[in-house]
Chains A and B, each alone.
Chain A
Amino acid sequence: MSDFISEGWSLYVAIATIASIVACALLLQSQSSRRKGKAQVDTTGHVWDEDLAEWNNPLPRWWMWLFYLTIVFGLAYLVLYPGLGSYQGYLSWTSAGQFRAEQQAAAATYGPATARFVAQDIRTVAANAEAREMGQRLFLNYCSQCHGSDAGGSRGFPSLKDRDWLYGGDPDTIKASITDGRSGTMPPMGGAVGNSEDVRDVAHHVLRLAGRTYDDLRAHRGKQKFESICAACHGADGKGNSQLGAPNLTDDIWLHGGSEASIVETITKGRKGAMPAHRDFLDAGKIHLLTAYVYGLSAPEGAFKAP
């Protein structure tokens, strides 16, 4: 209620509010004073079925005090909480403030549950069944929207269980990815590579690296282009570079599709991937548990049972 276009409106609303309450009190007062006098017998005058009359029975006196109580409540509310124009209220309550208080209360409640694990090594936590269950719940809440409920990813979002890492799969790197996010950029290389035929040549070389079917001649032509341009990030052998998040091109795992058309599009227009940073809304305990969960997803089969 603090977004009035001018102070006058705030005053106008406040006066109208107070006046209404005062009017209610005056009305109540005028109606509850006891009057005696000659009057009709207290029926409303409505009669049905010969003798069924509606009586005008007075309310009990304490009922009236309840009405006064509502007025007291209303005034107290307006003093404590925002309601009178742009007045903020004695308690300075805001919905945002309440939200923060609830967040703090939640942290105090659930913090201890994660705190036990923070001191432990990620590999130890990953082997703990209870921690993995907690991690899975967190994952379903915060990560599954992009990476899928089974962490299998989809086009443009990497799978987290195929042991193929853009930036590295050791605990610290996973933790850094979650905490600070990642920004994976493949610049558009169409101009650098040349015309569309040149791009197709490079694509066929990449298909050869990945072990897919390719055209011999095109791949041969593309190899030189690849080694002079693409190797800067992907390496001469196409094994990628986890420092830059440049994917390994030799393992036939594709973030944006491995068909010739997809690869041509990738080279021509570039790609952009963004993993948002979670440090602002996940505390250290949750990030620790998530790291352990994600780390455990790609642990060698049989190291421990995932839930």
Chain B
Amino acid sequence: MTNAARKPKLTDVSNEVESALYEVRRKIYPRAVHGWFASWRVALVVATQLVFYGLPWLAWNGRQAVLFDLGARKFYIFGAVFWPQDFIFLTGVLVISALSLFLFTAVAGRLFCGYACPQTVYTEIFLWVERLVEGDHVKRMRLDKGPASAAKIGRKGAKHAIWIALSLWTGFTFVGYFTPIHTLVDEARTLSFGGWEVFWVLFYGFATYGNAGWMREQVCKYMCPYARFQSVMFDKDTLVITYDAKRGEPRGSRARSVDAKAKGLGSCVDCGICVQVCPVGIDIRHGLQYECIGCAACIDGCDQVMDKMGYPKGLIRYSSENAMSGVTREGGWLRRAFRPRVMVYSALLLALTAALGAGLYLRNPLKVDVIRDRAALARETREGLIENVYRLQIMNTDEAPHRYVVSASGLEGLAVVARQPIEVHGASAQSVALALRVDPAVVKKGGYDVVIRVEDAEDGSIGVDEKTRFFVR
């Protein structure tokens, strides 16, 4: 689907239109581009991938620094060990991520898509490989159009070999977050991979290869929901990549020496660079389109041409609808960034981040569940005391072993019957059976709220109070 001449004139019935439900995708050959924004994109590709490929190799306390052990249901992130019970923190991280996306989008459009989205990043990497093996966009087009030859098969084969190797490595790294990566290396060496490990390496590898090698912009156009709901996060002050039609039109080619004003031409020399560099194959000069992922390749491309022509840069630039239509001063977008929408997003983001930080800082390394025995509410001991039985699930989320003591309160003369102190290994859980006793001479029949407190034997500040019921019959 090209976007040439797509001004919606609803009365236009002159051209013959294909009214099929499906069409064959036209492959896009993006032209290489250099410049300020391209450098930023490269920097972000490097930064994100250094983190992704590098993290599993870091060690911490004699274990992998970042490891999601699904089997043991423990999630190691540097110094912290998270349990399924800490799910709220994951929720917090996801909410913060979503809010960040909203905030960035409100301020400057699809920053995430253009610079940091894995789809963009891996497409970038794969394109770089493609360029290395097959040459620039013109050569690539010729190669695809040309007849099959040994050279063509050789180049294509080499490209796919590198892609597949890269994809497999990506899948391998991905699995390395769930199975210790050094174990994976040993397994690879002895060819003793587990079935699921093989599946996930291949699956994630295949997804990388398919999405970055073959699907590319189609993921953004047909699959990604973000493109579809970005418009609700945009407003008239959102910075989007915009072609300055007032300055550019009427477009036309001209020699450097020609005075454009005298010829009645705008700044746009109609060189088509902005279309050639576009990874989603649109013409930005038609205005904002949902396909645009905000990668700013056209800005870099156009600025270079403007430089060569001796015109000022910024014919295509980050600008807002209000700035374009003269409602706000050009460059006044910084002041407009303090509009209610942005402030609300920022305030929410700040509050949630602070809450998450505080929650993580104050996280109790001890978790306790109290489960009443349900078969018998109460029983009589040989001494005639009333006894209730509970099961304590004591979870020590610290990596060092701890000793705990249990006490109970809420009833007169409530005594705890259990072996104390209770030793729990580092990052593990233990079930302890425990009985509470009262003298029925002192306490009347009925149910009472009691509190069972589990406390660290050495450090009284680590403790958990759990409410439960005590029955006297």
Contact = CB atoms under 8 A, between A and B. Distances in A.
B435 A152 contact: yes
A57 B379 contact: no
Contacts of B20: 32, 34-35, 58
A63 B221 CA distance: 12
Contacts of B18: 34-36, 58
A150 B434 contact: yes
B433 A149 contact: yes
B389 A149 contact: yes
Interface string A247-264: 000001100000000000
B130 interface: no
B391 A144 contact: yes
A146 B15 CA distance: 83
A42 B17 contact: yes
B22 interface: yes
A45 B435 CA distance: 75
A41 B8 contact: yes
Nearest to A59: B22
A31 interface: yes
Contacts of A307: 430
B335 interface: no
Size category, A interface: 35 or more
B134 interface: no
Given A53-B8, A144-B391, A148-B389, A306 B22 contact: no
Given A34-B20, A42-B19, A154 B379 contact: yes
A37 B17 CA distance: 7
B9 interface: yes
B10 A61 contact: no
A151 B374 CA distance: 13
Size category, B interface: 35 or more
Nearest to B26: A60
A169 interface: no
Nearest to B391: A149
B433 A151 contact: yes
Nearest to B378: A154
A87 interface: no
B375 interface: yes
A47 B10 CA distance: 9
Contacts of A149: 373, 389-391, 431, 433-434
A157 interface: yes
A59 B222 contact: yes
Given A36-B16, A148-B373, A41 B434 contact: no
Nearest to B11: A41
B17 A41 contact: yes
Contacts of A53: 8, 10
Contacts of A306: 419
A77 interface: no
B23 A39 contact: no
Given A55-B6, A136-B431, 14 more contacts: A41-B12, A45-B10, A53-B10, A55-B8, A58-B23, A60-B23, A60-B25, A60-B218, A140-B431, A148-B379, A149-B390, A151-B433, A152-B389, A306-B419
Interface of B: 1, 6, 8-10, 12-13, 15-25, 218, 222, 373-376, 379, 382, 387, 389-391, 417, 419, 430-431, 433-435
